[in-house]
Amino acid sequence: MNVSDFMKYMKPGVRGHLIGIGGVSMSALGDLLFREGLDITGSDSNESETVISLRSRGIKVTIGHFAENVSGAQFVVRTAAVHDDNPEIVAARAAGIPVFERTQAWGAIMLAYKNAICISGTHGKTTTTSMITHILMAAQKDPTVMIGGTLPLLKSGYRVGEGDTIVMESCEYYNSFLSFTPTVAVILNVDEDHLDFFKDIEDIKDSFTKFAMNVPEGGWVIANADDANAMDCVSRVTGRKILTFAIDKDADVKAVNVNIAKTSRFDILFHGELYGHFALNVTGRHNVYDATAAIAASIVSGISAEKTAEGLKNFFGAGRRVEYKGKCGGAEVYDDYAHHPNELRATLSAVKEMGFKRIICAFQPHTYSRTKALFNDFVSALMLPDKVFLAEIYAAREKNTIGISSADIAAKIDGAEFCESFEKLEQRLREEAREGDIILTVGAGDIYKVGEAIIEK
């Protein structure tokens, strides 16, 4: 099954079943297909607000995975977390019902849009996608949007618009983004990650190069000139227009006069000429990079500098990206999704610009394989805060066959503490909190619950 095969099923009245429909991307997919007139059902492991919302719109959702759920379906879509031994997959294949991956369905949907902006990279995808969404909304493009996190503007991670533009966060894991069909492909950066799937950095770069080549001839590939791996990827791309962005090196779109404090201000040069003055209500050099990429995408999409500046000025951050949660013992509590050492370093560097007396970081590594592969880089990044607490590794899709623990990281950092439970971590953070401190809970797992537990209601 592939993207073109899925196109045959995108007709009113066709019955489709989505396994894992409660997820951010799958719920958006179900909603969009339902609005297009398809008869959509779904299943998920747990009740959730998302499931309740889908039901309120007329989509039947079953809790639990049972063979009978696919009865009558003409196609099935699954997430990467749904494996071949799932009862619904087994039943679908036994009945000859085609099974598609989530990304294949989205790739097919993109073909219906004149403009498809896909944002890729090891870090910064959610923020950049969110910034571009703000710009498109300011320009009244009425976009369809798919983000890997919650954007306050949308009160969701997605929206279904009536315009001719779709913007999608595009992840390289399992080569997922190779099913996408962008007219504008953005490559923010390319680092070692997901080494439980990719062999090495060369394997990762090959994947990003293929992603860029999915752009039709005459389409745009936007790449970070300050990132050697990203530039290596685009050096192999032929027949597509390349637009570079940067802060340090010469580039087609270059941020200059960068002033970073609690907010960020900078100018943009386009082909060496002043393009505009821009301001962000978020801090950090990494956010200026993401904004510069968003500006580059806006330029090739024909959006004016004025509307671009308006959209960026109204961006106050995406959910779980240095997100303010409340106070604890006089300290301000923030949460961030960083789960790669470079993301962690960027977040901590940005927080240093915010003027707190002390940075207290509670970090939860994400997956055993990533923790082992990037162990020394995690240790290095966690040298930046004034005080470090480590929660145990969040397993996600893995089992600990490696025999690694967050305690191993803590042992390498002076003064770091390993907390074997969230209850212990919450206790220590309350004890440590002082006026003028920032407490930052960091990780892609459920560490955010600790921050929510310690804030004073």
Q: How far apart are CA 299 and CA 273, in angstroms?
A: 14
Is position 114 annotated as part of the catalytic site? no
Break the chain into its structural domains and give their ranges: 3-106, 113-313, 323-454
Please name the helix (run of DSSP H) or strand (run of DSSP E) that holds residue 164, with its range, or none. Answer: none
CATH 3.40.1400.10 for domain 323-454, yes or no, is no
Q: Is 357 a catalytic residue?
A: no
Does 319 score more than 80 pLDDT?
Answer: no
Asked if 312 contacts 134 with a C-beta cutoff of 8 angstroms, the reply is: yes
Question: Which residues, in sequence order, are bridge partners of residue 274?
Answer: 269
Q: When comparing pLDDT for 375 and 352, which is higher?
A: 375
What's 94-141 look like in SS3? HCCCCEEEHHHHHHHHHCCCCEEEEEECCCCHHHHHHHHHHHHHHCCC
pLDDT given at position 418: 98
Q: Per-residue pLDDT for 322 more than 90? A: no
Domain 113-313 classified CATH 3.40.1190.10?
yes
Show the tokens assigned to 305: 């500098």
Span 3-106 CATH architecture: 3-Layer(aba) Sandwich (3.40)
Q: What is the pLDDT of residues 199-234, one digit of tens each?
A: 999 999 999 999 999 999 989 999 999 999 999 999
> Can you say whether the dihedral through the CA atoms of 149, 101, 104, 95 is positive or negative?
negative
Residue 443 pLDDT more than 80? yes
Catalytic hit among 169, 172, 192, 432: 169
% of the chain at pLDDT higher than 90: 88
Asked if the domains 3-106 and 323-454 are classified in one and the same CATH topology, the answer is no
Q: Indicate if the pLDDT at residue 71 is higher than 90.
A: yes
Express each pLDDT in 107-162 by its tens digit. 999 999 999 999 999 999 999 999 999 999 999 999 999 998 888 898 888 898 99
Give me the count of residues in the chain: 457
> Pick the catalytic residue: 50, 126, 367, 371?
126
The two tokens of residue 75 are 């196609």
Kindly report the backbone phi and psi dihedral angles of residue 401, in degrees, each rounded to the nearest multiple of 5, phi listed first: -85, -5
**Residue among 113, 146, 183 nearest 23 (CA):** 146
Place of tokens 């990304």: 103
The alpha carbons of the chain give a radius of gyration, in whole angstroms, of 22
Task: Render pLDDT for 232-286 as a digit per residue (tens, 0 to 9).
Answer: 999 999 999 999 999 999 999 999 999 998 889 999 999 999 999 999 999 899 9
Q: What is the mean pLDDT of residues 427-434?
A: 97
Q: Which residue of the set 88, 101, 122, 125 is catalytic?
A: 125
Residue 126 among the catalytic residues: yes
CA 322 vs CA 9, 20, 377, 432: distances in Å? 41, 28, 21, 20
pTM: 0.84
pLDDT band for 70, please (50, 70, 90 cuts).
very high
